[in-house]
Each structure stands twice: as structure tokens, then as C-alpha cells.
Structure 1
Amino acid sequence: MTLVFDHLTLGQRVLFGTGRAAENLATEVQRLGARKVMVIASGSEAAMADAVCAGIEPALRWDEVVMHVPVEVAERARSAAAQHRIDLLVSVGGGSTTGLAKAVALTTGIPIVAVPTTYAGSEATNVWGLTESARKTTGVDDRVLPVTVIYDASLTLSLPTDLSVASGLNGMAHCIDSLWAPRADPINAALAAEGIRALSRGLPLVKAEPENFGGREQALYGAYLSAVAFASAGSGMHHKICHVLGGTFNLPHAQTHATVLPYVLAFNAPAAPEAETRAAAAFGAGNALDGLNGLRDTLDAPRALADYGFRKEDIPEVVRIALPAIPASNPRKVTAGNLSTVLAAATTGDDPKTLTDL
């Protein structure tokens, strides 16, 4: 069969090394010629940020970090960056921290060096997200792609095990969604499959042996691959649903993705046999859903949206907002009826296999 596809690879420097974040950051600040650095890190990660920034002298430290990046929070950070004439943003933290740096870069063009402390993957994409009036808006802009990502597995030690699990499964969602997203292609699929393999090997080690850097390095490597695939392939059904759950109902980002993922996989897999076979092989399982569910059982992963405050009576609102945004290229036709069924199962934590024959 002849291959025909159009693939875009984003340009970004990646520095990977356990225990080397401070050294690598100092090197990058010097290489980029930055004179006024704004360090973005939440208050809870201030000590970690101090350690990472030991080799530089920040002009400004910013600790107002809020999940889903409310517009008003972004505006305050943008104003501070302008007032201090910042020429480099350094984000130290998870997806919310990276997201705030992206919000500043979106309107200012200031470059970002991202230092992730979770497996969120936002650091490797040119996708931004902002929330205003209970609506999350996302977009794509190369200005928000960090010029450099610094990975250091030791920085993930402070992440509680349950949040490590949810964050890693968020990365897994990037991989699986990339297999049937609007711009899916063979290169994205190869990256996504390797991401699934790395995450499915690394996350159980993170849970079983929290001090094991080998597992954490595999999880970080997998999260990076997942994000690169996602950035190229685009946002599929899973992410369109989760953006509404997070932006409109303020559900926690990582846990929401971890919960919804098996239901979207169960819904789409029968209509996407090539993607399903590739994912199954990456899991080392007979089929992709069994592979994912086996991993989730091992990790004691989040099970139900209701555990985070979501109610069945909110499903029609999610359907109303999400349905028009789900790509027409989704492997199975999505209707208000079957989307409601998917959400109902995810709300109560029903067996995802019930959706395969929907």
C-alpha cells in the first residue's frame, strides 16, 4: 500500500537527565542570552523551583498558578512580565504552570523554557488553553511551544503516587487520541505507540517503587512522546470531552483524562482496527482495551467522574458543548445519544466494555 501523508515536526530542544535540571537550565539561559527571567511556579513548588534556579538570577518569581488558566490570572501574569521587561519565561511545575507560561507567551512572544514536574506533556505542544466564564478555549500557536524542555526525573518525586498515576494516564490519553485524531499519520502513530509502551512499563514501577528513577524516566520519556504525537495529530474525541469537563465543570485535569480514556477507547476501537492493533501491541495485550484496563487495575487508577463531583444531570450540557467540537473524522459517528451513553458510563465507573457494541 502506498503511503501518502503530510507531517509537521515541531522544532524544540530537549535536555533529559536525572539530577541535572539546575545545570541544564543555567546552560540554556546563557545560550539564549536571557537577561530578565520570569520564573513561574506555584507556591507549593517554590522550594523545588529555587533548587532548579540555583544557577540563575531570576528578575521575577510568579506563584499565582490556577488550574485551567483563567483569563484573569493570565492577564495579571502578562502585565507583570511587561512591567519587568521579561525576556525569558521559565516554568517549573505541571500542566497548569506550563499553561500559564503559554498564556503569557501567546500575547507577548516571550520564549519559554519548561521544566516539567509531572507527566502532563503540555511542555512539548504548541497548544494553549484559557478558561473564561466557565468555557475553556484552546488553540494552536507556535509562540507557545517552549523552545527548550528540561526533563529531570528527580523533580517528580514530590508528586503523590495517585497523582503520578493520573498524570501518566493523561499522557496515555495523548497517545491513544493521536491514533485517530484529525491529522493522524504513520509518524504520529509510531510516536504514540512507543509512548504507550514506555508509559505502560514506567507507571507500574512509579507506583510499586516510588524512589525508582528508572520507572520515572520511562514515564517522562513516554509523556514526551505522547505530547509530540498529540501536537502533530491534533485533538480528538477524548480531549474535546475533557476540555468541557475541565473548563465548564472545573474537574481536575489529570484525573478527568484518566477516567474518561477507557470509555473513548472502548467506543472508538471497533471502528479503528489498525489503530487498535497498534495500541494492543504497545500494551503487550491481546486487545487495546484489555491492555489499558489491566494497566489501570495495576495502578488503581481513577474510576468515575462522580468521584470528582460530576453529576449525571450535567451530561446534557457536556453533550451540547462538546458534540459540535468532536472531529467529523472520528472513527465512529458521534451522536447526542451515544455521547450521552459514554458520559453516563464514565460518570458512574461502569465497565467500558459495555460501549464496544454501542
Structure 2
Amino acid sequence: MSHQTLNAQKTYLVTGAAGFIGFYLSKKLLEQGCKVIGIDNVNDYYDVKLKHTRLDLLKPYEQFTFIEGDIADKEKIMDLFATHAPDIVVNLAAQAGVRYSIENPDVYMQSNVIGFYNILEACRHYPVDHLVYASSSSVYGANKKVPFEETDFVDNPVSLYASTKKSNELMAHTYSHLYKIPATGLRFFTVYGPMGRPDMAYFGFANKYFAGEPIKIFNNGDLENDLYRDFTYIDDIVEGIERLLSTAPEGDVQHKVFNIGNNNPEKLMTFINTLEKCLGNALGKEIEFEKVFEPIKPGDVPATYASTDQLQKAVGFKPQTTIEEGLQQFANWYVDYYGVK
């Protein structure tokens, strides 16, 4: 893998551009003078206002073109590729969330399987320099061995969401093999930060606190054997992706999969206590969440912990942001955005 800097002459297609990671990546590309085509169906899985807030921050950039549409709409995707001829595609559009996939499986098949298939077909008919796509740490299922390594066996997903992401990796591998599409899959580990996803635990905890409700913690109250999560700050994720964009896989196998995480898991309770402290700092007073302990939810895994050696070897990437720094950035944004000071 050869690593160059971003090429501002190239056109980047970012699917899920109104989403959390899609927004930050698009912004970073645009700041460097790149041409970005963003597509998003702006669905109401979570607060649409937040998605519009993100889009409003991208729209002033002259090099940004936004298309409201669904990647599950094959005709629309083919038209988009024919019209804009993207050089590099970053597929971040997906129906997210592990628990929601138990209640609403249809949207996962549409967006994560059909949608991704459409992207692969488009890359086949309108060849691209590099396809980077979102996989997920959830593909590791209930693997006991930590840290999770890319070479681990991942054929036992414990949620439909995880199954769709594993399917993406298999589909990308096949298309890469048959049609020589340079493709890179990224297994994201619990990404957080300002303007993040309201369905994520840390965001929900803040919402509950300001609504005067207790937070639910799904660890049975067992603090000795607490859940561990590899929390990765959004800026670190974007830097990792950015380095990879200009580093397409070469050689016989043009498909690679990387973990992109923090390599430094935190106990859930440590994370929660840090969030209390950071929200307190933002409000200028000490706060404490009211806590209710419940059993672990179906589809949840006891620990997520990324080995990031492969990514570091490929592009020299290592996350730098501590949860204290990252959660303080989130808390400051939250208090300001929702006017809860």
C-alpha cells in the first residue's frame, strides 16, 4: 500500500453525507479543496433536525453537491455515477444500530445489503480508484479473544445488523476479485463526539439527565465484570479514513479490511463517570446521573476492543484523543446546541 496525500483534483462520493461520520469526512475533504458529492436519504431513524444542521454546515462549500436520495434506489445511483463520475467512493450510508435491527429488519436489508450491492454495481460499470466502505466491530459477535484482530473468525454474528456488515465484506471481496475494484472495509469501534448519533448510549445518557430521567445501564450492576468498549473520537476516525483514501490496496487481492478503533477499551462505568464530569464542567456545576442497572441486552457483547496494528502498519494511524478530551468536546457542544446551560 502506497500512501499519498489527498488529491484535490479527484471527485469524492460520500454516501450518508448527512450522517455523523459522513458529515465530518465531507467537511474535512471540502476544507482541503476536494470536490465532494454527498448523498443521503435523510431518514428519521433519529432527529432529522441534527442531520439538517450538519448539511447546513456543508452547503456553503462551493465544491459540495448534495443529492437527497437512497442508495437502495439503483437507478438513482447509476445516474449519479454516470453524471458525476466519482474517482473515490466512501460508502457510509447504512441503517445503523444493533438493537433497532431486531425491531425493524427490513430497512437493514434495503440499505445495508441492496444499497451496498448498488454501490458495487456502480463501481463495476463506472470504475473508481478506490471504494472505502463502513463495516462494523459488531462482526466479531461474541468473540471472547481480545483484542479483536482482522484475521479472527467472524462467522457468528449475534445481530442482523452485524450480519449485514459481514455480508458487505463478502460482497466487496467478490466484486474486488471479479472486477478488480480496489476496496477497503473499515470495522468501526464505537465512534463518538459532537453532533454524534442520538441513538448512541453517551448521547442518550445526556438526554436522560436533562429530561430528569434515570439512565439504564445494561451490565447487571456488576462493576467488577463491567462491559468494555473501545470508544473512538470522531476526529481520529476521520484522520484514519483520510489516510486510507489515498492508499488503495494493490497487488493480487485488492480488498482489505481494517479495524479502526482506539485500541484502548474503557469500562462502561468509567466512561459514564467521565461524561458526568464533562457535562458538569460544561454546566459549571457538579452533576450525577440517576442510574438503574439492568441485565445485558440481546445482541450486546461484553467487550469490544480493536487491535489497530494493521491500520498502523498500512498508514501510520494511531488515535490520540482521550475520552476526557473527547467527551468534553461533546459536552460543550451538547450544552450549547440544546441550550441547556
Quick one: higher RCO (CA 8 Å, sep 6+), 1 or 2? Answer: 2
Which structure: greater strand fraction?
A: 2
Larger helix percent: 1
TM-score, scaled to structure 1: 0.30
TM-score w.r.t. length of structure 2: 0.31
